[in-house]
Structure 1
Amino acid sequence: MSGLQELRAAGLVIYRCVATEIQYLLMQASYADHHWTPPKGHVDPGESDLETALRETQEEAGLSRNDFTLIDSFKKELKYEVRGKPKTVIYWLAELNNGSKEVTLSEEHQEYRWLPLAEASSLAKFPEMISTLEESEEFIKKYKQK
């Protein structure tokens, strides 16, 4: 171990189906480079990754556990560096139960959008996030065929 404290975060890739289109919830940060991501945040001491993902989704998007169906057979781990420190982000997939449910932003975000894969990928920018969205799309299409 290099002595660098690894940063750890968790969140949910939330989607909804509108007619035949799969749309993903992306939220724009109200700080730094105003990047777009699904709801996520840092894991607090004593908290599991999934507990963090659920808490952060509630805090950042106003969506509680009753607002979506967690698809826990899809879990994606992203690893990258932030300001020279290794970071791991775990995402689960979740389907919004009520497609017209209102998202309520915290002060951490300034805007949100429901977007199909191509638009979501162009806003997401980071290769790891784009591949997570692409894998989510493939998984949802197979999942929906069941």
Structure 2
Amino acid sequence: MGPRAAGFVIYRIFCRRIEYLLLQTSYGIHHWTPPKGHVDPGESDLETAFRETEEESGLKKCDLKVLEGFQEILKYEVKGAPKTVTYWLAEISHEGVEVKLSNEHQDFKWVPLDEACKLSGYKDMVDLLNKCENFILAEKKF
């Protein structure tokens, strides 16, 4: 098994619309992604997701409400080696939460599904975002 990473697809309900948080990297092709990062030795994937989310976006565990029953594992090939990224789905737990970016990212946006899919670009991320949207709607979380 190759390197592992973990993160959250974070959403909020704004004006009765589901919006997703995407961060734009300040390196490479400046792609847009949910907060995520590499699992450190001795750390669980979920612990990594919380740590990386706080490091990259400033959002703490108390700012997020993790939805039960949603977990997706994406498998990639990176430079010929397998990599897995585990995502959970989390809603902002209260209003007035501020995103504070680290130097790993240069911008962030709260965007509805169609724009999130266009910004992310990758088929597996588009599939993940659509699964999130369907899960939220099925759970009637707004």
If the TM-score is normalised by the length of the shorter chain, which range does it land in?
Answer: over 0.9
Number of residue pairs the alignment of both structures matches? 142
1:76 aligns with 2:72: yes
Cα offset, 1:115, TM superposition? 0.4
Quote the Cα distance in structure 2 between the aligned partners of 1:18 and 1:51: 28
Match of 1:120, SS? helix
Output the aligned Cα RMSD. Answer: 1.3
Per the alignment, residue 14 of structure 2 pairs with: 18
Deviates more, 1:48-57 or 1:96-105: 96-105
Cα offset, 1:84, TM superposition? 1.8
Quote the Cα distance in structure 2 between the aligned partners of 1:96 and 1:24: 10
Aligned partner (choices 2, 11, 22) of residue 6 of structure 1: 2
Cα offset, 1:19, TM superposition? 1.9
Quote the Cα distance in structure 2 between the aligned partners of 1:116 and 1:145: 15
What do residues 48-86 of structure 1 show as CA deviations (whole Å, max 9, x unaligned)? Answer: 000000000010000001101011310000001112221
Cα offset, 1:145, TM superposition? 6.0
Output aligned runs, 1:24-35, within 5 Å: 24-35=20-31
Per the alignment, residue 130 of structure 2 pairs with: 134
Per the alignment, residue 63 of structure 1 pairs with: 59
> Where does the alignment leave 5 or more consecutive residues of structure 2 unmatched?
none
User: Matched residues, percent identical?
Assistant: 55
TM-score, with length taken from structure 2: 0.96
TM-score, with length taken from structure 1: 0.93
**Any runs of at least 4 consecutive aligned residues in structure 1 with deviations exceeding 6 A, and if so which?**
none
